[in-house]
Amino acid sequence: MKQVACPVALHPDGAPRKLAVAIHPLTALVHCDLPAGTRPEAAAAQALYAIGGLETRAALLLGTSDDIVAGERWHFALCRTVPPVRDRWQNAGPDGQLQRFGWLALDDAAPHDIAQAHQRALEWIRAAL
């Protein structure tokens, strides 16, 4: 089974609950393959920084799900981001592609263009928090 780490990066202001998401090219949650022997919370914090450009002060494993994508086990880690943060920002990920990021209010409906897997992950995150 493929192992996936997903950082749950909440906006440091705390209210309303807002989650860091990629908004270009498609609305997506930040996630990465979990390297063998790596703790999920460490991989999630590293992915958040490498892909989204957000520093993590602390990361705590929230739980896992085998129901996001068939054949994958997703590990969700709550990542406390280091302030200050912007409402929107850009970052070049490990592949060098520039992506735009922003915050999605967890209590709002998900964008219409979000991938099904990420919709299921958002539902898992909402239930966990």
φ/ψ bin of 72: left (φ > 0), alpha (ψ from -120 to 50), beta (otherwise): beta
Share of the chain above pLDDT 90, in %: 53
For residue 3, the surrounding DSSP H or E stretch is strand 2-10
Q: Is the pLDDT confidence value at 119 over 80?
A: yes
Q: Residue 48: which H helix or E strand, with range? A: helix 40-52
How far is it, in rounded angstroms, from Cα 18 to Cα 103? Answer: 6
Q: What are the residue ranges spanned by the domains of the chain? A: 2-128
Query: Over the stretch 31-41, which tens digit does the pLDDT of each residue have?
Result: 888 888 899 99
Predicted TM-score (pTM) of the model is: 0.90
Amino acid 24: pLDDT: 60
pLDDT of 59 strictly over 80: yes
* Beta strands per DSSP E along 11-82: 18-22, 32-33, 56-65, 72-81
| Residue from 100, 104, 99 nearest 122 by CA | 104
Q: What kind and span of H or E run contains 42?
A: helix 40-52
CATH superfamily to which 2-128 belongs: Nucleoside Triphosphate Pyrophosphohydrolase (3.90.79.10)
DSSP annotation of 57 reads E
pLDDT beyond 60 at 25: no
pLDDT of residue 113: 81
pLDDT of residue 26: 54
